[in-house]
Amino acid sequence: MSKDYQETRYVLPKIVNFDELFTRTPNCLLFNDIMLDRTPEEVIDIICDISGDKSDSVASCACEDLVGNYYDGMKCQTCGTICESTLFGEIRNDSWLEIPVSIKGVLNPQAFRVISGWMGNTNHHPILKQMLNMQLPQDPIPNTPFFTGMGFNWFYDNFDAVMSYFLSSHPTEAGRSKSVAMKLFLENTGAALWCTKLPILSKLIQPVTKISKEVRYADSDIKNLIKAIFSLRSILLAEKMMKFTLDHIDRNFYRVYGEFLAYTDNILIYKLPKKPSILRKHVFGSRSHCSARSVAIPITEPHDSDEVYFPWKLGVMVYKYHLISILEKQRGLTTFAAVNRVMNAINVYDHEIDVIMQDMIKACQHAKNPTKGLPILMNRNPTLRIGSIQLLFITRIKPGLKKNPFPTLIDEPQQMVSISMPQDEDIRGAREATDDWTTSNGVIINPFGETVSDEISKINEWLTSLIEDGAISVSPCIVKGPNLDLTSF
């Protein structure tokens, strides 16, 4: 494309039409209808009631007889409902606030953030907030023909004039450079720019952290919402008891609107996107079947870039169903014995389990369509970039001992005998040394003729020390896609 003609593309935010969403939401609660008839304690109870809501992505039926994404879409035979997760469907706002009738309309909170950021600041305060806040004296706004303290109704009536001025004569160069994008944003938003209903965010992300019979503990983010509701309650009560001027209602409603913006800002800007957020904990980081989570460290020996080494415990946990099946069909164990064997091997090294996993890797390498090892998909949640999910192959289960150094003890765990390893030999030397050991009447005798009678716990402790590595090993060449933080040695 030539320099004379370059098409500029803008990514514009999409604004939800709140008034339309309110009309098509069945059985929604309008707090304006109840706040005058309820005590403050009852209003808070309604806000914090999360009964029936789910805060994770695990599918379940109504009676919770079927729980797990494996059952997603199945019909429960007990309650007759479909097992599904409500989090990935349409999240409805069941509770709403309505602005006073005397106010013609307020900016959609999403649009308010966009327009306020584009207008900029004067005297370290947003220009848009200065226009709406009637508690301020009506002083000229520098470099503009407008005044502070004009209010919501004035801004609604003069919105086109205000926008026309800033689109053509924005006081800052940065604002003028964004005028074309802002004009497109206003045209595309249309009727969704204004609203008379303000949604209380879904209780799926409501920051209630603990509920007990005596006390309800809520996150501090909800205090702005409670302030907004009670400020609106006082306006409606004063309206009902006596006649107020429109300017008085407009002036007091600014406090309601400001508290509501602070409430949504705290959740949408800080509570959801940050690292310790609800989305990372309950959506992106939720456990799925046949998945695992582990720390990653680099492979320091010669390797291919798509190789991955699994730690012992993680390997046994991920492939426990495969191991149980092999123990049943090829080793002749009962289901109960196979499950018990595999679950015990998670914490204590089992030579036979190790051999089975090595055979599983070799079977992938010698299949009709051979691969390097057991295929897995690896990514780091949340997945936000192309190439973050990568196909890797497990080529080693750490520690992957080739030979059981204590065949008598592992095969007969009830035998309360053990040995002391020679201090100057490594693991490989220990394996070779055990070839010359003999047993006599249940007592192990080493090649030097020494009898060992320590408790078997020392052997188990030594074996456990061989499998303390609990991190997966991946190639440093692939860390850019999933944005891995590798722990170096």
pLDDT tens over the chain, length 489 residues: 444 444 556 678 888 899 998 988 877 888 888 888 888 778 777 777 655 555 456 677 878 788 777 787 888 888 888 887 766 556 667 788 999 888 999 999 999 999 999 999 988 889 999 999 998 999 999 889 999 999 999 999 999 999 999 999 998 998 898 999 999 999 999 889 999 999 887 666 655 555 555 545 556 667 788 888 888 888 887 777 766 777 888 888 999 999 999 888 887 777 777 766 666 666 666 666 677 888 888 888 888 988 999 988 889 988 999 999 999 999 899 999 999 999 988 888 888 898 999 999 988 887 677 888 899 988 876 666 666 788 899 998 886 444 445 544 444 433 333 333 333 334 334 444 444 444 444 444 444 444 444 555 666 555 555 545 678 889 888 887 777 776 544
Of 168, 191, 214, which one is at a domain's C-terminal end? 191
Collect all residues with Cβ–Cβ distance below 8 Å to 82 and sequence separation of at least 6. Answer: 61, 73, 74, 75, 76
Instruction: Give the type of residue at 189.
Output: T
Whether 322 and 428 share a structural domain: yes
* Contact call for residues 58 and 127 (beta carbons, < 8 A): no
Calpha distance 440→297 (Å, rounded)? 45
Of 134, 162, 191, which one is at a domain's C-terminal end? 191
In a domain, 488, yes or no: no
Which range of residues forms the domain containing residue 120? Answer: 108-191
**First-last CA distance in the chain:** 49
* Contact call for residues 83 and 60 (beta carbons, < 8 A): yes
Whether 169 and 214 share a structural domain: no
Whether 95 and 175 share a structural domain: no
Compute CA distances 139 → 53, 136, 164, whole Å: 49, 8, 21
Whether 212 and 272 share a structural domain: yes
Whether 238 and 155 share a structural domain: no
Q: How many domains does the chain have?
A: 3
Whether 414 and 310 share a structural domain: yes
Strand duo 95-98 + 29-30: pairing = parallel
Unique residue bearing structure tokens 């050991």: 437
Tell me the HSE value of 217 on the side-chain side, using a 13 A CA sphere: 4
In a domain, 174, yes or no: yes
What are 253-271's pLDDT values in tens digits?
999 999 999 888 887 777 7
What are 338-358's pLDDT values in tens digits?
999 999 888 888 888 989 999
Of 176, 191, 206, which one is at a domain's C-terminal end? 191
In a domain, 376, yes or no: yes
In a domain, 3, yes or no: no
Whether 314 and 355 share a structural domain: yes
Classify 387 in phi/psi space as left (phi over 0), alpha (psi -120 to 50) or beta. left
Whether 392 and 268 share a structural domain: no
Calpha distance 265→267 (Å, rounded)? 5
Q: Burial code of 206-238, b = ≥16 C-beta within 10 A, e = fewer?
A: bbbeeeeeeebebeebbebbbbbbbbbbebbee
Instruction: Give the type of residue at 482.
Output: P
Whether 99 and 231 share a structural domain: yes
Whether 335 and 426 share a structural domain: yes
Whether 269 and 142 share a structural domain: no
* Contact call for residues 99 and 254 (beta carbons, < 8 A): no
Whether 329 and 414 share a structural domain: yes
Quick one: tokens of 123? 């005297």
Secondary element (H or E) of residue 392: strand 390-397
